[in-house]
Amino acid sequence: MSTVLVIGAGGVSSVCVHKMAMNADIFSDIHLASRTKSKCDAIAASVKERTGRDVTTYSIDAEEVPAMVNLIRKVQPSLVVNLALPYQDLPIMDACLEASVNYLDTANYEPKDEAKFEYKWQWAYHDRFKQAGLMALLGSGFDPGVTSVFTMWLKKHKLKTIRQLDILDCNGGDHGQHFATNFNPEINIREVTAPARHWENGEWVETPAMANKVNFDFEAVGPKNMYLMYHEELESLAKFVPELERARFWMTFGDAYITHLTVLQNVGMTSIEPIRYQGKEIIPLQFLAAVLPKPETLGETTKGNTNIGVIATGEALDGSGEKTFYIKNICSHEAAYEETGNQAVSYTTGVPAMIGSAMVVTGKWSGDGVFNMEEMDPDPFMDMLNSDGLPWTVEELDGPVSF
């Protein structure tokens, strides 16, 4: 039985809070704070209607550390769950240290003025969390999050070492809009317009954004083009699976998405350099995000499935030589919407955020310091994926990937 304080009231938060409410034995008291209180109230109303549970709401600017500290002291949670934006990671971690409470997030810190997400800023908090006897768990979404846990489950149960790793993230959903992103547009566009990077023979190999394309036949979706990208779990996987010879991340994009993005990029709308407009300084990408459909409004119209998984090749644990395994989850947009009022991209992130929170508050995962998902026992997390909405399958493939 524990009290949690969730920060942020977007799609991911909405799913996480609904799923926390459905696990009353673990999360006995749920508090939700965000910049716009009305969004917290809307989530609380939906949770009440669907589960009968109460969620207490507040307005907060999470970048104001003293205000955050006051809120944490008032609520007295055992865990602060950061589901706001990556820019708020460090101020929320500062507030957790000052108010002496554990921390969890789903995305690593990114400075506002530089489209560069890296763990180094948050890893630098390790000693402070350790000395305070507190735990910070980083990246408890799907990717990062479940993809890291999938990899460590394969290392625990199937493969002694992993030589090659490919993460395949497919969203086969159709939202009926010309152009929209499935999670925060600003963060999403910063991610997909950055150069691709993968890990090979002990170093990072950089290639231009969207330059490497492979057609892959995804179960429950069909054939889709997926593109080589940089994604944050590659950094922690390269650190915690040191024997990796190659690790890559692939994400599917439709032709219409690529065409829109190319035009927007060519005309300068994805830039994060401030410009002056009618006497005011604006950032083109933030303006673009403001005119695009809000991800939380896409749920009702999105149809189809997501299919996200990991293909790993390495030395089998049982000594039977080299083996390749494919472990994945398929999630239906319609089912996710039916259960929580949000589409599957929010669902596949919000459920692991709830599960990571459950791991911390029940003590199944513990430690003093800053931790990535790869450092924890995958088994109890994998059990909850099965019981709480994101069931997974594992199969042996004939051999390593040919792309």
| Of positions 36, 297, 366, 386, contacts ligand NDP by CB under 6 A | 36
Which token pair is 278? 């009618």
Length of the chain: 403
Distance (Å, whole) CA 93 – CA 312: 33
Candidates 58-66, 271-279, 329-337, 379-387; binding stretch for ligand NDP (CB under 6 A): 58-66
| Of positions 4, 5, 6, 11, contacts ligand NDP by CB under 6 A | 11
Distance (Å, whole) CA 226 – CA 170: 8
Angle CA 167–173–179, to nearest 5: 100
Q: With b meaning 16 or more CB within 10 Å and e meaning fewer, what string describes 353-365?
A: bbbbbbbbbeebb
- Residues numbered 320 to 339 that lie near ligand NDP (CB under 6 A) are none
- Give the other-Cβ count within 10 Å of 130's Cβ: 15
10/304 with CB nearer ligand NDP: 10
Q: By rule CB under 6 A, what count of residues binds ligand NDP?
A: 33
Establish if 9 lies at the interface with ligand NDP (CB under 6 A): yes
| Of positions 6, 47, 62, 80, contacts ligand NDP by CB under 6 A | 62
| Of positions 27, 79, 143, 167, contacts ligand NDP by CB under 6 A | 143
- Residues numbered 265 to 294 that lie near ligand NDP (CB under 6 A) are none
Residue of closest CB approach to ligand NDP? 10
| Of positions 71, 170, 187, 382, contacts ligand NDP by CB under 6 A | 187
Q: Which of 107, 59, 58 is nearest to 83 (CA)?
A: 107
Residue type at 296?
E
| Of positions 142, 218, 249, 392, contacts ligand NDP by CB under 6 A | 142
Q: Which of 290, 291, 286, 298 is nearest to 346 (CA)?
A: 298
Q: Is the bond preceding 144 in cis, omega lying within 30 degrees of 0?
A: yes
- The DSSP code for 158 is T
Distance (Å, whole) CA 226 – CA 254: 9
Establish if 184 lies at the interface with ligand NDP (CB under 6 A): yes
Establish if 12 lies at the interface with ligand NDP (CB under 6 A): yes
Establish if 246 lies at the interface with ligand NDP (CB under 6 A): no
Candidates 1-9, 119-127, 241-249, 383-391; binding stretch for ligand NDP (CB under 6 A): 1-9
Binding mask 70-109 for ligand NDP (x = CB under 6 A): -------------xxxx-x-----------------xx--
Q: Provide the β-strand partners of residue 204.
A: 199
Distance (Å, whole) CA 282 – CA 23: 43
Q: Which of 259, 273, 351 is nearest to 343 (CA)?
A: 351
Establish if 183 lies at the interface with ligand NDP (CB under 6 A): yes
60/93 with CB nearer ligand NDP: 60
Which token pair is 320? 């039977």
| Of positions 77, 173, 284, 295, contacts ligand NDP by CB under 6 A | 295
Which residues contribute to the site for ligand NDP (CB under 6 A)? 7-13, 34-36, 39, 60-63, 83-86, 88, 106-107, 141-145, 183-184, 187, 295-296, 349
